[in-house]
Amino acid sequence: MSETSYNPFVNAQAQFDRVAEIIDLDEATRTLLRQPAMEYHFLIPVRMDDGSTKIFQGFRVQHNDARGPAKGGIRFHPQETADTVRALAMWMTWKCAVVDIPLGGGKGGVICDPRNLTQREQERLCRGWVRQVAKNVGPDVDVPAPDVMTNAQHMLWMLDEFEVINGGRYPGFITGKPVGMGGSLGRTEATGYGVMYTVREALKHLGINVAETTASFQGFGNVAQYAAELYGKMGGKTIAISCWDNTDKKSYTYRKKDGLDAETLMSITDAFGSINKDKARDMGCEILDGDAWLEQEVDILVPSALENQITAANVNKISPKVEMVVEGANGPTTPDADEYLKKRGIFMIPDFLANAGGVTCSYFEQVQSNSNYYWDKDEVLQKLDAKMTAAFQAVNEVSKKHKLYMRDAAYVISINRVAQAVKMRGWV
């Protein structure tokens, strides 16, 4: 999941430490916030369809819940690590704080590859994960959600298992559920749309007409699909998209200089974000190396895959034309690469601001589930737009006022909000 030279949790702590210095955070609060409050590591026995039993390793990390119940997704990935989950939980704390929703940060994961598991095996794995953490999660404690290679069906199996264990109906236990089973309209689009709401506001700030911009995306999962879709509706032109090919077990970049249509590509993309290479070629796409997305002569780069994708080894390949990097993924830029972007004057929309649309809509889903009253899609997206716009403007204002890099400005807001909650509760 990450290069061996880049530990995501070390990166997350380094980002925190830098801003803790900027705001002169006291030592006790620093110690409390630079590491998770609670971790659960466990084994999940799963009966496979062939009658054998396989043991999977699972995690749930709760970084901080001073502002509300822990919140964060569950990843199924063959290269999942404890440090990846720790980093993601920490980033979730800052993400919830920057958009000012009353939640803390958590994250979960299982080391597995769901692409190699049958539906029945995936269901047993989901139920097994819940059984191991049922006493330590819940609508008022820790609320999971889908993440990389997990989906609404997985969440519903987990909800059902939690309700069986606890003997009741608790739709607010988990978000990302199917619509009609406690899920929220707009949740599928929320993260990608949130990314583009921040892009829209950033382009306004920079005085750039979106219709005159081009973009290149890494990844074509849920985030990039809907970000590219909305970007096209806004008038922007997507030139390249890079994604993993499940057949060839490598990534490719699909390029079309007169623009790629996201909705058409989505029609030839599988559930894991893998574009059908032959059909893409028939549509007129050039098939390039997977890393070529980074080198395109575009205005906007949108890394929307996994962490540690823009590094010191490849950051100098970014075209001089690029004016903005928008982190649709969590932690896609390493600290040394970040320094390069800062020196080049590239406008950065950091991950925990750019992709906060997902957790914001998850919060909306919690509110709807707990009240048993559901909003229509337009209302959800209007509320999401308002939240994301306000968050961007607040971060941009701090950035301008204190002459801070956008990532640092976002951290200043988030860390101050969490630190204040910790102190008001009397924890330090």
Query: What is the DSSP code string of 302-346?
Result: EE-S-SS-B-TTTGGGS-TT--EEE--SSS-B-HHHHHHHHHHT-
For residue 216, give the 3-state DSSP assignment: strand
Pairing of strands 300-303, 214-218: parallel
Q: Are 339 and 361 in contact (CB under 8 A)?
A: no
User: What single-letter amino acid sits at 118?
Assistant: T
Determine what percent of the chain is predicted with pLDDT higher than 70: 99
Active-site hit among 54, 71, 95, 107:
107
Q: What is the pLDDT of residues 29-63, one digit of tens each?
A: 999 999 999 999 999 999 999 999 999 999 999 99
Q: What is the pLDDT of residues 186-231, one digit of tens each?
A: 999 999 999 999 999 999 999 999 999 999 999 999 899 999 999 9
For residue 79, give the 3-state DSSP assignment: coil
- What is the per-residue pLDDT for 6? 81
Mean pLDDT across 392-409? 97
Mean pLDDT across 266-285? 91
Mean pLDDT across 336-365? 96
Residue 273 banded pLDDT, cuts 50, 70, 90 = confident
Q: Are 227 and 302 in contact (CB under 8 A)?
A: yes
Q: Can you tell me which residue has the tokens 């990935």? A: 77
Name 184's Cβ contacts closer than 8 Å, sequence gap at least 6. 175, 361, 364, 365, 368, 374, 375, 380
Give me the chain's average pLDDT, please: 95
4 pLDDT more than 80:
no
* Closest C-alpha among 302, 325, 102 to residue 192: 302
3 pLDDT more than 60:
no
Mean pLDDT across 305-324? 94
Residue 2 banded pLDDT, cuts 50, 70, 90 = very low
- What is the per-residue pLDDT for 393? 98
Mean pLDDT across 397-424? 97
Residue 5 banded pLDDT, cuts 50, 70, 90 = low
Residue 406 banded pLDDT, cuts 50, 70, 90 = very high
142, containing H or E segment: strand 142-146
* CB atoms near residue 128 (< 10 Å): 20
257 pLDDT more than 60:
yes
Active site residue 71: no
- What is the per-residue pLDDT for 246? 84
Q: What is the C-alpha to C-alpha distance for residues 105 and 415, in angstroms, rounded to an integer? A: 12
